[in-house]
Every structure is written in C-alpha cells, then in structure tokens.
Amino acid sequence: MRYIDLRSDTVTKPSEEMRRAIADAEVGDDVFNDDPTVMRLEKMTAEMFGREAALFVPSGTMGNQVCLKTISHPGDEIICEEGAHIFNYEVATAAAFSGLLFHVVKGVRGVMTAAEIRPLVRPLDIHSPRTRIVAIENTHNRAGGTIFPLEEMEAIRNLADEKGLLVHLDGARIWNAHIATGIPLTEYGRLADTLSVCLSKGLGAPIGSMVVGNFEFVQEARRTRKMFGGGMRQVGIIAAAGIYALENNIKRLNEDHDNAWYLAETLSEIDGIYVDLDSVQTNIVVIDIAQSGRQVSEVLGAFKEKGLLAVQFGATKIRCVTHLDVTREDCADAIKIFQEVFEH
C-alpha cells in the first residue's frame, strides 16, 4: 500500500535529481578537512546566515548538542521554553553530556519573552548555577510549527548582551520561518551566537544538519563533534544532497504551508476535532481529538489501515506534517480518511 506519510517532514526520500548530485559528488576525508563538497556546503551555509563559518553534522540533535557543549561548562544553566526539542526530545543529552541545568519557561505557542527571562537570570553568586545560554526554537515543533517573532528574538538578544549570556537558535525548521515571514536568514544569523539548522526536515536531504557561528566557535565545535563521534570521512556524498536541498528546496516551502493550512482548516470542521488555527503558521498541524472521546492509538490504527500515517503528539493529540513528498491531492485524501474515521 502507498501511504500518505504525514508523520514528519523527515520522511522525505531523495529525488532523482538529488540522487544524481549525490552520485556526482567529489569527496575527500572530512576529518582531514579535505572533502571539497563538505567545504562548499559549509561555506555556502555560513554565507546564507551572514556568519563566518559552519560545520556539517549528522543530525539536528547533534547540531544542538555540539553547540550547547561547546559554549558551556558543566553546572551552567540554560533557559528555554518548556516545549523545546532540546528539553523534551534529545534524550537528556544536554544534562548527560554537558552537565547543563535547565530552567524552562512556559511560553505561549512556543514563544517566551525577554521580560519573562530577565528575572530568571541569576546574579553571579558562589551558591548559584551560572546562567549561560538562552535557547530559542524557530519554528517551534511542539507548539505546532509556530514562528518566533523577530522583535522578541531581538529583545532576547539585547537582554543576553546586557547580561553576558549566549543565544542558541534551534533552527531545525528556520527555513519555514524564513519563507513564511520573508525575514532574511541573515537576520536570524545576526541574532543568535550559535545556530543548528537541518537539511533533512523540510528540505528533503536524507541526512544532515549545519552548526553556524563565528570562526572561533566553529573551530571548537569541530572538536566537540569529534568527541561526540560525529567526525565523518567521505561525507561529500551526503553534503552534495545538502547543497542540492539548499539550492532547490527552500523556495517551495510555501506549498507545504498552504497544504498545512488546507488540512487544518478543513479538519477543524469535523465534529470532535479541535485545531488551534492560530498555531498553524507553517507546515505542522496539531489535532486535538479529546472531544471525540476516541483514543489516539485506536485512531492512528484506523488511519493506517486506510493508508494514512501520522504520529501521537501528547495524550489526546495527533501531529500531521506536510513536506515535499506530499501533494495537495494527498492532503485531500488524508482529509477524506479523517472524515471516514471520525464521522462514521
């Protein structure tokens, strides 16, 4: 059976053209710093964000964790929104590998404000952890792909400068924020000290994320990546897919956003289903089925039998993510399956 796969934008398969780019890639040993394709991808990414340097890493989790480890000491404190991926879905690596203490803020649709963060920044005191990092997630996965407003990022940047903190951006889906708002990537690059951005979510590459920042940081991050087992060899074959993704798959993200909106609006009309339409800002739709009295696991099972895949996202919620392997017709078919399961 061909499934309509809305589990995540990570499920995309490399296109024919991307596979050709992979096959044609020039390679070297990247741990020796001589893979020309990786070097091209790193230079290109740094330039896109208006920053000095970038580093290719295997995953978004490694991207975030390499950043956090590189800029902190064990016992330092990190402030982030309570739904953040680094807090909920990265296997507590920040605690286990970097010894970081989390202080989480309950935001609204994934957005926390500088005013909320300010009182949490601890004064230097021999008894207290040292507040070191503020981490922002844009777009915010758990909140449903919401966009972190640029003005608030700016306010957090200013607070960080005032208090001597570093700002990390989990930009796994920063491309979606960029396309939805028209805000240049260089603006995001300007407001964060360290960034982790993914090639294997909306952009359709099979593997890979990029760490971005200044020269000194990226040099040190290269050491951290090696420490975490992420030093790779003839990885130009994968970097070529990343270059292809950056060159071809950013501009089209609006299609995914339009499809997500179509799904969200139509599904919200079904009895027993609630979608917070204000949170549908990019390619993620979170569907609350609490009112239907149905169990998520039972509903997902019924979907699967009819050819639709989605994931559980909390006790009563289902997440659907649109991406480049999902067409408008697929979305229409997915809606039909929702209707069959909930209306019969």
Residue number with CB closer to ligand TLP (241 or 270): 241
Minimal distance in Å, beta carbon 125 to ligand TLP? 32
For the bound state, the minimum distance from the C-beta of residue 178 to ligand TLP, rounded and expressed in Å, comes to: 15
Supply the DSSP symbol for 75. Answer: T
Q: How many CA atoms lie within 13 A of 330 on its CB side?
A: 20
Q: Which residue is nearest to ligand TLP (CB)?
A: 60
Q: Where are the beta strands (DSSP E) in 20-125?
A: 53-57, 77-81, 101-105
Closest CB 258 distance from ligand TLP, rounded Å: 20
Whichever of 115 and 227 has its CB closer to ligand TLP, that residue is 227
Two structure tokens written together for 208: 């890979």
Q: Are 41 and 190 in contact (CB under 8 A)?
A: no
Rounded to a whole number of angstroms, the minimum distance from the CB of residue 266 to ligand TLP is 22
Residue 322 Cβ vs ligand TLP, minimum distance, rounded to whole Å: 12
- The least CB distance from residue 32 to ligand TLP, in Å, is 25
In whole angstroms, give the CA distance from residue 79 to residue 136.
9
Residue 6 or 121 with smaller CB distance to ligand TLP: 6
- 121 vs 137, beta carbon nearer ligand TLP: 137
**Which residues are at the interface with ligand TLP (CB under 6 A)?**
8, 10, 59-61, 64, 85, 89, 137, 141, 170, 172, 198, 200, 209
Task: Report helix, strand and coil shares of the chain as percent, to nearest 5.
Answer: 45, 15, 40
Contact 225, 55 (CB under 8 A): yes
Q: CA neighbours within 13 Å on the CB side: how many for 339? A: 9
**Residue count of the chain:** 344
| Closest to 168 in 3D by CA, of 137, 198, 146 | 137
Nearer to ligand TLP, 172 or 289 (CB): 172
Smallest gap from Cβ 284 to ligand TLP, in A, equals: 8
Distance of closest approach, residue 143 Cβ to ligand TLP, in angstroms:
10
Rank residues 131 and 209 by Cβ distance to ligand TLP and give the closer one: 209
> How are beta strands 166-171 and 194-198 bridged, if at all?
parallel
Per-residue burial over 245-278, b if 16 or more Cβ lie within 10 Å, else e, is: bbebbbeebebbbebbbbbbebbeebeebbbbee
Please report, in angstroms and rounded to a whole number, the separation of the first and last CA atoms in the chain. Answer: 23
Kindly tell me which of 110 and 189 has the beta carbon lying closer to ligand TLP.
110
Nearer to ligand TLP, 198 or 239 (CB): 198
Q: Which residue, 59 or 70, is less far from ligand TLP as judged by CB?
A: 59
Shortest distance (Å) from residue 88 CB to ligand TLP? 8
Q: What is the DSSP letter of 172?
A: T
> Could you tell me which residues are beta bridge partners of residue 135?
80, 168
